[in-house]
Amino acid sequence: MKDALKQRLVGAVVLAAIGVIFLPGFFKEQQGHQVDTRSHIPAEPSSPQVTFEAPQQPTDISPAPEPETMFLPPEPEPAPKPEPEVLADADAPVPVEDKPAATTEQVPQLPLGPDGIPDAWVVQVASLSNKEAAAKLRDELQAEGHKAYVRTVTTANGSVTRVFIGPKLDKAEALKVKTEVDKRLKVNAMVLRFQP
């Protein structure tokens, strides 16, 4: 008897809970949805009316030159003509400065090789397998004021590009350049006889 009463009470509580949960939603769905038909767009702001006047051409501006003459450089001014010297006496002889005649003793004698070409010396700075690296080194040396050039030769190990400075007619000068290059580039350059 008590168990039956308990079961009835539990069933009643469950039905009441279901009614509390679902009945409000059921009645709410039965009511019609109201739509707010009022506009939420703000009113158009007031803006001042602007009047644009027609453009006026200024009168104090000179017209542009013709396109053919617009980008021409200015013409150089003519050099002034030298004024003729006025001689005190037209019949007087003009003095001529005494200049020593050129002699072969003033030209230094250069040692000639067996082929008749003066002996000259070059500084071989580097021998590189990469032509671009050799050209870059040559450009750096030329930027420093050296007369640098490259030559590509074929050896037993393949093609290499050599970077030279010179030629120098004085071997002592070539040795001086070698010392400077060795110190700056950390290399061991060679002084060789120039081969044209």
Paired tokens of 153: 């030769």
User: 118, 135 in Cβ contact below 8 A?
Assistant: no
Tens of pLDDT, residues 162-187: 899 888 888 888 899 889 888 888 88
Mean pLDDT, the chain, rounded, equals 76
User: 120, 192 in Cβ contact below 8 A?
Assistant: no
Higher pLDDT, 95 or 22: 22
Give the mean model confidence (pLDDT) for residues 75-88. 62
Residue 194 CA to residue 196 CA, distance in Å, equals 6
Helix (H) / strand (E) containing 101: none
Higher pLDDT, 81 or 157: 157
Tens of pLDDT, residues 21-35: 877 776 666 556 667
Q: Is the pTM of this model over 0.75?
A: no
Tens of pLDDT, residues 121-167: 888 888 888 889 889 989 988 998 888 889 888 888 788 888 998 88
CATH number of this structure's domain 121-193, picked from the four choices 3.40.50.300, 3.90.79.10, 3.30.70.1070, 3.10.129.10: 3.30.70.1070
Tens of pLDDT, residues 105-125: 554 555 666 666 667 888 888
Range name among 56-65, 81-90, 133-142 with the lowest pLDDT average: 81-90
User: 121, 167 in Cβ contact below 8 A?
Assistant: yes
Ramachandran sector of residue 120 (left: φ over 0; alpha: ψ -120 to 50; beta: rest): beta
Domain spans, the chain: 121-193
User: What pLDDT is attached to residue 169?
Assistant: 81
CA-to-CA dists, residue 119 to 89, 123, 170, angstroms:
56, 14, 9
Give the mean model confidence (pLDDT) for residues 36-50. 80
